[in-house]
Structure 1
Amino acid sequence: MVERVVDCRGLACPAPVLKTKEVLEKERPDRISVRVDNPAARENVSRFLSRQGFGVTVSEDSEGYLVVGSRLAGASDLAPGEEEILCTLSGPSGEKLLVLIGTDKLGRGNDELGQKLMTNFIKTLGEMVPQLWRLVFLNAGVKLTVKGSPVLDDLKELERQGVSILVCGTCLDFYGLIGEKQVGETTNMLDIVTSMQVAGKVVTVT
Structure 2
Amino acid sequence: MKEIDCRGLPYLKIIREIKKYFNSIGEGEAIVIVNSELGRSNVLRYAAHKGYQLDEENEENRFLIKIEKRGCLEVEDEGEIFSILITREKLGEGDDDLGKILMNEYFEVLNEYDKLPKEILFLNSAVKLFHKDSMAMEEIRLLYKKGVNLLINDTSLEHYNLTDQITFGEITSMYDMVVAMKRAKKLIRL
Q: After TM superposition, is the score higher than 0.5?
A: yes
Task: Give how far 1:165 is off.
Answer: 0.4
* Paired residues of 2:89 and 2:128 also in contact (CA < 8 A): yes
Q: Deviations over 1:138-172 (max 9, x none)?
A: 10000102222212211111111110001001000
Task: Give how far 1:95 is off.
Answer: 3.1
Whether 2:126 is the aligned partner of 1:160: answer no
1:90-105 paired onto structure 2 within 5 Å: 95-105=80-90
Amino acid in structure 2 at the alignment position of 1:126: N
1:163-178 paired onto structure 2 within 5 Å: 163-178=148-163
1:1-206 paired onto structure 2 within 5 Å: 95-205=80-190
Amino acid in structure 1 at the alignment position of 2:132: K
TM-score for the superposition, normalised by structure 2: 0.56
Structure 1 pair 131–123 and aligned structure 2 pair: CA distance change class (3 A): closer
Larger deviation, residues 179-188 vs 167-176: 179-188
**Rg larger for:** 2
Task: Give how far 1:103 is off.
Answer: 0.3
Structure 1 pair 128–199 and aligned structure 2 pair: CA distance change class (3 A): farther
How far apart, in 1, do the equivalents of 2:187 and 2:101 lie? Answer: 23
Amino acid in structure 2 at the alignment position of 1:155: I
Q: How many residue pairs are counted as aligned between the two chains? A: 112
* Paired residues of 1:134 and 1:163 also in contact (CA < 8 A): yes
Q: Deviations over 1:41-73 (max 9, x none)?
A: xxxxxxxxxxxxxxxxxxxxxxxxxxxxxxxxx
How far apart, in 2, do the equivalents of 1:155 and 1:146 lie? Answer: 11
SS of the aligned residue for 2:84 comes to: strand
TM-score for the superposition, normalised by structure 1: 0.52
Task: Give how far 1:129 is off.
Answer: 4.5
* Paired residues of 1:152 and 1:183 also in contact (CA < 8 A): no
Higher relative contact order structure (alpha carbons within 8 Å, sequence separation ≥ 6): 1
Structure 1 pair 128–198 and aligned structure 2 pair: CA distance change class (3 A): farther
Amino acid in structure 1 at the alignment position of 2:177: I
- Cα RMSD for the two superposed structures: 1.4
Amino acid in structure 2 at the alignment position of 1:114: G
Amino acid in structure 2 at the alignment position of 1:190: Y
Amino acid in structure 2 at the alignment position of 1:172: L
Structure 1 pair 179–115 and aligned structure 2 pair: CA distance change class (3 A): same
Task: Give how far 1:104 is off.
Answer: 0.6
Runs (4 or more) in structure 1 with deviation over 3 Å come to 127-131
How far apart, in 1, do the equivalents of 2:185 and 2:150 lie? Answer: 17
How far apart, in 2, do the equivalents of 1:120 and 1:107 lie? Answer: 13
Task: Give how far 1:182 is off.
Answer: 2.8
Structure 1, unmatched stretches of 5+, are 1-93
The alignment-based identity, stated in percent, is 36
